[in-house]
Amino acid sequence: MRVAVVDIGTNSTRLLVADVAPDGTFTELDRRSTVTRLGHGVDASGSLAPEAIERVLDTLAIYRRSIDEHQVGETMAVLTSAVRDARNGSEFAARVRDEFGLDAQTLSGEEEAQLSFLGATSSREEDAPSPVVVIDIGGGSTEFVIGERGSVAFHVSTQAGSVRQGERFVHHDPPEGDELAALAEEVRGIFRGAVPEELRGSVAAAVAVAGTATQLAAIDQRLEPYDPARVHGYRLDQGACERILAQLAQLPEDERAEVQGLDPARAPTIVVGTLLMLEAMRTFDLESVEVSEHDILRGAALRRAGAA
């Protein structure tokens, strides 16, 4: 079955077009990501801003053309933290359905976590270490999902994200040390309070998905241009994240945008994202994480095709 999934997140809007066989065999035909910043200002205002909505709708128009060109039979749009939290989120979801013919679903934190886990673990070896925690750092929330062999044992969606915490704490460019320290303290409390200590200690491996993780893998390897094949499966260690944070946090945004391996559009959020990744690793006492290109898009495609 040919499936198209659009992920409308707090920071980016992404597209996946794929052929999915009943046994879960997966062939990607198109994959795109555009930083649209839908969640900009939502934490303070409680609403999606008109200009942010227009950025997403412009991107969806481009994605719709690709969906039509690939003659897709089944489509789905998953809407996450920013839309969940916004007063006008349901109105925006209706526009996505009506104007672009996409089956737009605003996911609960639980649904988002389950689809991320499905996507991240669908191609892991059966004898890979477990239990595994899937870490999904987004713009408005961070999900932790713990399970093994395709079965979720625990999941939580936290109110900590690269856009949300950045808007709360970072008011200088480059960010000041006390701003990052206060941000880290809040995130540490959120993460540790969200996952019981005994579960944190039970985790044997970690898979990190979404933009922060893949960008850190690209920066660590100095990838120009971005190469998904070298990012997927990359082992990102805590020391590398600490070095990258120290480097990026001292640069103003325009200079961060020039860092080798970094998508310039992610320069505004990468410092906070890196700090969140470090706090996630420390929460689970992880020396490293495996970075995966397989995330909620893949999970939603598998589910839509009835292959999971």
Q: What average pLDDT does the chain have? A: 93
Q: In this structure, are strands 151-158 and 74-79 parallel, antiparallel, or unpaired?
A: unpaired
DSSP characters over 98-131: HHH---EEE--HHHHHHHHHHHHHTTS-TTS-SS
Which among 127, 120, 55 is positioned nearest to 300, based on CA atoms? 120
Average pLDDT over residues 151-167: 91
Average pLDDT over residues 189-197: 96
User: Dihedral of CA 283/288/290/291: which sign?
Assistant: positive
Band of pLDDT at residue 148, cut at 50, 70 and 90: confident
Task: For residue range 249-272, list pLDDT tens digits in order.
Answer: 999 999 999 999 999 999 999 999
Give the pLDDT of residue 161: 93
Q: Could you tell me the fold of the domain covering 122-291? A: Nucleotidyltransferase; domain 5 (3.30.420)
Task: For residue range 271-301, list pLDDT tens digits in order.
Answer: 999 999 999 999 999 999 999 999 999 999 9
Greater confidence (303 vs 126) lies with 303
Amino acid at 236: L
Query: Given the structure tokens 């309070």, which residue do they identify?
Result: 193
Lowest mean pLDDT among 31-35, 110-114, 279-283, 297-301: 110-114
Give the pLDDT of residue 99: 96
Give the pLDDT of residue 185: 97
Cβ neighbors of 246 (< 8 A, separation 6 or more) are: none
Give the pLDDT of residue 308: 66
Domains 2-109+296-304 and 122-291 share a fold: yes
Going from N- to C-terminal start, the domains of the chain cover 2-109+296-304, 122-291
Superfamily covering domain 2-109+296-304: ATPase, nucleotide binding domain (3.30.420.40)
Which runs of consecutive H residues, i.e. helices, occur in 104-237?
109-121, 162-169, 177-194, 197-202, 211-221, 228-231
pLDDT above 70 for 108: yes
Average pLDDT over residues 66-87: 92
Bin 149: left if φ > 0, else alpha if -120 < ψ < 50, else beta: left
Entry field: residues in the chain: 308
Gap between the terminal Cα atoms of the chain: 13
Output the six-digit token pair for 32.
């795109």
